[in-house]
Amino acid sequence: MGESRAPLRVLLDYMKYILFTTTQCPKCPSMKEAVAAKIAFEGEVLSEQDSNFMELAQKYQVQSAPTLVVLNGEEEVARVDDESALDATLAKVQC
């Protein structure tokens, strides 16, 4: 039975997220809380004040905040910009 969990652990090792936020965004604080409570793998929260914000926002074509980008390795597997869609989107990537 222990072996059946190994593939999930491997999957989670490659999964990561980036949550793009801004300091003036009224929806960002609640999105940060929801992401922290619902995602079991590592990630980072960026704001426009972070040095790599613009580079990563351009790389992932982020145009609004909050935007959650879920990655499997370097491949984007999900994107959420509305907290109300978070649960359904995360269920699709089996977080």
- Residue 94 belongs to some domain of the structure: no
pLDDT: is 74 or 69 the higher one? 69
Find the CATH number of the domain harbouring 13.
3.40.30.10
- State the total domains in the chain: 1
Sheet with 15-21, strands from edge to edge, namely 43-47, 15-21, 67-72, 75-80
Provide the pLDDT for residue 91.
Answer: 87
Quote the pTM value. 0.84
Alpha-carbon dihedral 47, 35, 43, 4, rounded to 10 degrees: -170
Whether the predicted pLDDT of 74 surpasses 50: yes
- Residue 7 belongs to some domain of the structure: yes
- Residue 90 belongs to some domain of the structure: no
